[in-house]
Amino acid sequence: MKLAAKDYLAAFDTIDGWQRLKRHLAEENYLCMADRLIGFNHLTIVQKYAKFYQDLGDDVAGRIADCHIAAYLGITPESLSRAKRK
């Protein structure tokens, strides 16, 4: 279901709690992004892969191609292969 821009803006005036919901979603996105950026700066490649695998679980991580995982983690596919062996 799509929400037209005019309807989205009108919701702020007519629906109680709409602004609170938007603020909550923005805060959640910010915390997720901050956690990911901190991980990029302070974790080793092996730690990045372990955290990725822990966050998504076996069922999801196992279905994603290694090249996509490497790109998400900001590493080369070769580095990912070495990390997976450890």
Task: Pick the closest to residue 64 from 76, 74, 56 (CA basis).
Answer: 56
Output the six-digit token pair for 70. 């490497």
pLDDT tens digits for range 36-73: 788 778 889 999 888 888 888 888 888 999 999 999 88
Contact (Cβ atoms closer than 8 angstroms) between residue 61 and residue 50: no
pLDDT tens digits for range 7-36: 878 887 888 888 888 899 999 999 988 987
Output the six-digit token pair for 73. 């983690």
In whole angstroms, give the CA distance from residue 63 to residue 66: 9
Higher per-residue confidence, 5 vs 77: 77
Output the six-digit token pair for 62. 């196992």
Output the six-digit token pair for 65. 């191609």
Does the predicted TM-score (pTM) go above 0.75?
no
pLDDT beyond 90 at 5: no
